[in-house]
Structure 1
Amino acid sequence: MASDGKKKPNIKIEDDIDQIIELKQEIGLKNAVAIIVGVIVGSGIFISPKGVLLEAGSVGLSLSVWSMCGVISLVGALCYAELGTCILKSGADYAYIGESFGKLPAFLYLWVALVIIMPTGNAITALTFAKYVLQPLFPDCDVPSNAARLLAALCITLLTFVNCTNVKWATRVQDIFTVAKIAALIMIIITGIVKFAMNEQVESFEEPWEGTQTNPGSIAFSFYSGLFSYAGWNYLNFVTEELKEPYKNLPRAIWISIPLVTIIYVLANISYFTVLTPREMLMSDAVAVTFADRTYGVMQWIMPLFVACSTFGGVNGAIFTSARLYFVGAREGHLPGFLATISTRNFTPMPALIFGCVLTLIMLSSDDIFALINYASFVESSFIALSVAGMLYMRYKRPEMERPIRVHIGFPIFFLIICMFLMIMPLTNNPMECFIGMAVVAAGVPVYLIGVVWKSKPRWFYQQLDHVARATQKACLSIREDLKED
């Protein structure tokens, strides 16, 4: 898979490059908060409340699950704050697992992220955006699949172009759409407060613990639905190298973002229950839209618009961060080296961004992308647990390592216990999905042996790869970030 990760093709793009070619530190605290909040708040909070309630069984446990999911995410993010400041590399889990356990486990994470997690996640979010945008045009029927895919593809290519052109443009898009989605949730919260004050709907809170599930499997799946809506709390770690003052801004962004999202999520769910009964929520496929239908009258169209804005911002944040994973993987020699090149004009990882765009567009052509992401969710949770386990391992193995941020030892232990519980429960309830996920991971081993370990590949292979590298670098006007060192 990889050519020599350290080989620099002999291409002279510009002889008079005065600036060092590297990814610039252009992400400030405000942008960092927007990335975390923007990636976390996708379509989940507008849809997932049904899944949490279905598995929790009661209003009281449902709200408790939403609160606990916020606490779990905060604890995990604080562990990643320590990891991100003692291992100051972009790539998040890929960098941390590689530093702790070596190249093969890191490659396996990159492999799963490459073939499933990143492209399918981006494709699903883009499809959600497309369906909400197109739904008003098809009020009496389902949105045609091809129309949704076409608009989703347009969304992905447009945002890839923005990310290729300018980092500041990409962060500005993230800032704008993050404000839009938070405004939507605040509107829901205010509406719920008004309705509660008018005492129009209190049925949901009369006996909040009635019907509470006691089955550990059901409780675990309610946490899965809730944590799905918090997914993305670790995405700022993918762009650590581009963060201004990372030792200060990484933990600050975490402390601002995740408590903010948790408070908004819990209040939004209380507002949902203020307007809708538990039965009505379980009958709805898009709780926020049903909420708007019941409260906003002729202005009900505003909620699908806000959901579309939310998912659009989520796609932008995911494209921005996933490209950095491909970039770092190529820089380490685990992907073709030309993916670790930077545009000399825009100082963006343009080849990696285009590569991610192509992967996502390929996933859009599949009818099974939702099944694929289900298979990978168990594996992704396992790798997050492995990253935190690596943090504990390095505390023991490398106690002298500089740690600008050092969390209490109880935090990673608590997080690992939660991860183990959430990993064991699906094995007992849906073992086939877990085994398929593990099979995808295992498939990465021969790819690693052939693509990375095997250095004596045929000459023609390297020649063809070099042709592709030259063509890509010429088209993107990109060179390796360390070219000025020669």
Structure 2
Amino acid sequence: MTAPASETLQPQPSLRLHEAVAIIVGIVIGAGIFKAPSLVAQFTDSVAWMIGAWVLGGLVSLVGALCYAELAAAWPHVGGDYHFLHRAYGKRMAFLFAWARFSVITTGSIALLAFVFGDYVNALVPLGEYGAAFWGTLAVMLLTWLNARGIHTSAGTQTWLTLAEVLGLVLVVVAGAWLWLDTGHAMPGVTGSVPAESGASGGMPGLGMLGLAMVFVLLTYGGWNEAAYLSAELRGSRRGMLHALTISLGLITLLYVLVNLAYVYGLGLQGMAQSEAVAADLLRVAFGRTGETLIAIMVAVAALTSINATMIVGARTSFAVGRDWRGLHALGRWEGERGVPVVALYVQSALALLLVAFGASLRGGFQAMVDYTAPVFWFFFLLCTVALIVLRIKEPDTVRPFRVPLYPLLPLLFAAVCGYMLWSSLVYVKAGAMAGVAVLAVGFVLAWALERQGEGAEEARTEC
């Protein structure tokens, strides 16, 4: 029997470079840049070291991006990390990654971002106790519908959302410059003039504090690796992903540094460190009550941008799994004209909506989802980085349009960073780590069951 056309179609190179850049920037720049800077200011206690930490975060991310660029150029595939893990470690390890991504990382991120969106929209248009869950659910459903219409619809939406998000960060920079020029303002609850106590002369923070600061910096940079899922759909040469990653990370690093300079010039280093909502405080000082409305809109747009980008890349992992596992073949349906794995998209959004409902019913319970994603994420990030070295050994004759410079120094350096982040997440998030282990254990059992089912199906097909 011939498979339906939608199950045999493959992704086509239809994404333009600027669309890929918009997706990457949209994934990376989320709500973190509105919260993490105050924590980094606390841990570094120096303007120079604080800005240095953000620059270092961009450089570390660039090293990781170079590793991913080699993998994506050599093996462009809609499965991204899943495909690299499959080639390096085998089918079962790749499935465990896909399971963790589907059940925790991607859907959990969509649900949490939906709550971030809902919280801020509910502050503008309050709908009562469950207003945040309602607005979050509405956002997930609307973006699912847009994504199902086709890759150009979702990518076009992403371009405009990313533009609005970047303009929001530019507004933060403008507010900081305004307060820097007008030194008569002071942050509510903070003594002294705003720019006076800059902390520029502070010494080097302790290694522990600097390491903790880098945890939050790298979390704010997180998400650029999702670009690997677009490698099979990017137009142009196989080095196109290298260009998309370097352009995106350069733009993100520049924005992050400018935003942090705006915070410190507008509020002072101690003002940043004491702030619970640093962007809101800056805009309130600069623009009064109007600033509070502006920051709510900015964070809501940032959440929408990240949800949409996460949906685009997340569904492609499930599509790749559906192509490899007979029991999940329905996920491997690709709508050629629209360029969308529509079944995988709907299943992903359905689980995300269930998590939104769960978070609404268990107050504060979804915070645990944030915690247990970190160890799982960094574990597989480490495996993907090491996969570059493994595949250099296993498949030395594969054509590699781009090779990581200073090999193996740079891959080993980034692997060490991943290992440190994994260790940090296990130390600081013990309960979450246990939950992550439990999720992986379920994935292992599911992989075993699917393998048994696949063997039975293969035997039945042979008998026929």
TM norm structure 2: 0.88
Deviations 1:201-259 (A, max 9, x none): 3334244526x64152x433322211121111011211221111251321111111101
SS of 2:23's equivalent in the other structure is: helix
Deviation, 1:58, is 3.8
Deviations 1:51-81 (A, max 9, x none): 3233334433322221111111111111100
Q: Name the SS of the counterpart of 1:455 in structure 2.
A: helix
The CA distance in 1 between the partners of 2:182 and 2:88, in whole Å, is 56
2:450: which partner in 1?
Answer: 451
- Which of residues 356, 366, 375 in structure 1 aligns to 2:372? 375
Matches within 5 A, 1:63-462: 63-138=51-126, 144-199=128-183, 201-209=194-202, 213-216=205-208, 218-300=209-291, 301-333=293-325, 336-343=328-335, 346-367=338-359, 368-408=365-405, 409=407, 410-455=409-454
For residues 336 and 453 of structure 2, the distance between their equivalents in structure 1, rounded to whole angstroms, comes to 32
- 8 A Cα contact 1:240 1:246, kept in partner: no
Q: Report the Cα offset of residue 127 of structure 1.
A: 1.2
2:108/2:352 contact within 8 Å kept: yes
Q: What is aligned with 2:189?
A: none
> Are residue 61 (structure 1) and residue 68 (structure 2) matched?
no
Q: Which residue in 1 is equivalent to 2:188?
A: none
- For the 8 Å contact 1:32–1:253, the answer to whether it is kept is yes
User: Does the residue aligned with 2:130 lie in a helix, a strand or coil?
Assistant: helix
Residues 275, 447 of structure 1: CA spacing in aligned structure 2 closer, same or farther, 3 A cutoff? Answer: same
Q: Which whole-Å CA distance do the structure 2 matches of 1:430 and 1:346 have between them?
A: 41
- 2: CA distance between counterparts of 1:254 and 1:165? 26
Larger mean CA deviation between 397-406 and 364-373 belongs to 364-373
Between 128-137 and 35-44, the greater mean CA deviation after superposition: 128-137
Contact kept? 2:73, 2:239, Cα under 8 Å: no
| Residue type at the aligned position of 2:445 | P
Q: Which amino acid aligns with 2:238?
A: Y
AA at the equivalent of 2:344: A
Residue of structure 2 in register with 1:474 after alignment: none
- Contact 1:288 / 1:303 at 8 angstroms: preserved in 2? yes
Report how far residue 297 of structure 1 moved.
Answer: 2.4
| Distance verdict in 2 for CA 1:293–1:248, change over 3 Å | same
**Residues 1:127 and 1:208: Cα distance change in structure 2 (over 3 Å):** farther
Distance 1:411 1:144, change over 3 A: farther
Using the TM superposition, give the Cα deviation of residue 151 of structure 1 relative to its aligned residue in structure 2, in angstroms. Answer: 1.0
Letter of the structure 1 residue corresponding to residue 278 of structure 2: V
Count of residue correspondences: 441
Q: Call closer, same or farther: CA 1:366–1:133 in 2, change over 3 Å.
A: same
Stretch deviating more after TM superposition (30-39 or 277-286): 277-286
Would the alpha carbon gap of residues 345 and 421 (structure 1) be closer, same or farther in structure 2, given more than 3 Å must change? Answer: closer
Distance change in 2, residues 1:456/1:102 (3 Å): closer
Match status 1:27 vs 2:15 = yes
The answer (yes or no) to whether the contact 1:69–1:230 under 8 Å persists in 2 is yes
Contact persistence 2:374–2:422 (CA under 8 A) = no
Closer, same or farther in 2 for the Cα pair 1:331/1:290, shift >3 Å?
same
- Aligned position for 1:466: none
Distance 2:327 2:28 in 1: 28
What secondary structure does 2:239 align onto? helix
More displaced stretch, 296-305 vs 108-117 = 296-305
Identity of aligned residues (%): 26
SS for the counterpart of 1:247 is coil
Deviations 1:348-380 (A, max 9, x none): 211111111101001101232221231121121
What is the rounded CA distance, in whole Å, between the counterparts of 2:427 and 2:345 in structure 1? 38
CA 1:344–1:384 in 2, change beyond 3 Å: closer, same or farther? closer
**Alignment gaps of 5+ in structure 2:** 185-193, 360-364
Shift in CA distance, 196/344, structure 1 to aligned 2, threshold 3 Å: closer
The answer to whether the 8 A contact 2:198-2:268 is kept is no
Q: For the residues of structure 1 that align with 2:142 and 2:160, how far apart are their CA atoms?
A: 16
Task: Provide, for residues 425-457 of structure 1, a one-character-per-residue CA deviation record: whole Å limited to 9, x for no partner.
Answer: 344444443343233223321111112344366
Whole-angstrom distance in 2 between the partners of 1:436 and 1:12: 40
> In the alignment, what sits opposite 1:475?
none
Give the aligned CA root-mean-square deviation in angstroms. Answer: 2.4
**Residue aligned with 1:173, SS:** helix
CA distance in 2, matches of 1:401, 1:458: 33
Closer, same or farther: CA 86–458 of 1 in aligned 2, 3 Å:
closer
Q: Please, what TM-score do these two structures have when normalized by structure 1?
A: 0.85
Distance in structure 1 (CA, Å) of the matches to 2:449 and 2:144: 31
